[in-house]
Amino acid sequence: MLEKVEKLSAQQVTTSTLIKKAKKRKEILTIVGFIAPALIVYGVYVVYSIFMTFYYSMFDWSGIDKNLVFLGLDNYIKLFQDDIFWKSLGNNSLLVITSLLTQIPLGLIMALLLFSPIRGMRFFRSIYFMPFLMSTVAIGILFIFIYDGNFGLLNGLLGAIGLESLQQAWIGNEQTAIWAVIATVCWQFAPFYMILFRAAIVGIPEELYEAADIDGAKKWQRFKNITLPLLMPIIITSSILSIIGSLKYFDLIYVMTGGGPNNSTELMATYMYRQTFTNFNMGYGSTISFSMFMIALGVTVVILLGDKRRRGEE
């Protein structure tokens, strides 16, 4: 197109390219103007700390003196041979999978329920959100007592419905401890996905449903053919948030079990914390941190690429 114009008149060409250039320059200025403020704040704190984490990960450093000994990648080799790290990576994977399979469906169900014709929805809506609103300290302390083997509420409930055989000390037992804490984490975060989905469902134009109603679509079909496909992008986004959140999860484990008993609930982040602040291995702790970062980055890139292909196929 442009070339044809070019042949027409040299005069015009220069003006049009000039205009184009000016436009282009303006657009870039716009982009910079919009992004730069966030990028600067983000760069100063976040990008800088990521750099520093990588930097520290190459040293033998206690974190409390100025005596850094350069090791190159030795810490990473050590990490590969570290059983506890692999154990914690396994636990993190469990948490990732369980979170995906419970938080997102549960969040979706709760969000859909909020749109159903139930009385007192405002009340339900507030209560459903409670877990996410409670402080981790409160949740941690309460669930320690809920899972307690002697006075625990859970055992009490099991006893009340005749399931005494299932009663046990949920977080004292190495086999059940990880599930007990994972359940708590999922419980805490499901409401976040609820509000995320709710906000997305609000954005679905009503006409689509009206059209479907004319076609006499059943509720399930409405959900399957309209709601779910339109929610797919937000589901992908939620999955990424959930996966990354699970990969670097720390808080409740630290409060509830501290990674025990016998490392059975150790996560990468709690192990990193222990190495950094209990064992005074800032260098090795940073190695764990940066590895967690790389794992999360890898998983995210794979999901984004997969999503791109999916959209390409559509």
In the region spanning residues 10 to 49, those forming contacts with other proteins, defined by CB under 8 A, are 24-25, 27-28, 30-49
- The token duo for 280 is 């005074």
- The token duo for 134 is 């409670």
Rg (CA), the chain: 26
Q: Is 117 in the site for other proteins (CB under 8 A)?
A: yes
Based on CB atoms, which residue is closest to other proteins, 151 or 220?
Answer: 151
In whole angstroms, the minimum distance from the beta carbon of 29 to other proteins comes to: 9
In whole angstroms, the minimum distance from the beta carbon of 262 to other proteins comes to: 4
Based on CB atoms, which residue is closest to other proteins, 100 or 195?
Answer: 195
Among positions 275-294, residues that touch other proteins (CB under 8 A) are 276-282, 285-286, 289-290, 292-293
52, 163, 166, 302: which one binds other proteins (CB under 8 A): 52
What are the residue ranges of helices labelled H in the chain?
A: 2-8, 10-42, 48-56, 74-80, 83-114, 121-133, 136-146, 153-160, 174-202, 206-214, 219-222, 228-247, 251-256, 268-273, 282-313
Among positions 230-259, residues that touch other proteins (CB under 8 A) are 233-234, 237, 240-241, 244-245, 247-248, 250, 257-258
Q: Is 164 in the site for other proteins (CB under 8 A)?
A: no
Based on CB atoms, which residue is closest to other proteins, 50 or 97?
Answer: 50
- The token duo for 96 is 């990732």
The answer to whether 171 and 154 are in contact (CB under 8 A) is no
Number of residues that bind other proteins (CB under 8 A): 135
In whole angstroms, the minimum distance from the beta carbon of 254 to other proteins comes to: 9
Of 261, 227, 246, the closest CA to residue 100 belongs to 246
Based on CB atoms, which residue is closest to other proteins, 4 or 66?
Answer: 66
Which strand (E) or helix (H) includes residue 60? Answer: strand 59-60
In whole angstroms, the minimum distance from the beta carbon of 223 to other proteins comes to: 14
The C-alpha torsion from 275 through 276 and 277 to 279, rounded to 10°, is 40
Packed helices 228-247 and 174-202: angle between N→C axes, nearest 10 degrees: 140
Q: Is 310 in the site for other proteins (CB under 8 A)?
A: no
94, 100, 195, 217: which one binds other proteins (CB under 8 A): 195
74, 76, 261, 307: which one binds other proteins (CB under 8 A): 261
Strand partners, 143: none
Q: Is 145 in the site for other proteins (CB under 8 A)?
A: yes
In whole angstroms, the minimum distance from the beta carbon of 68 to other proteins comes to: 3
Rounded to 5 degrees, φ, ψ at 60 are -90, 110
Find how far residue 114's CA is from the centre of its chain. 23
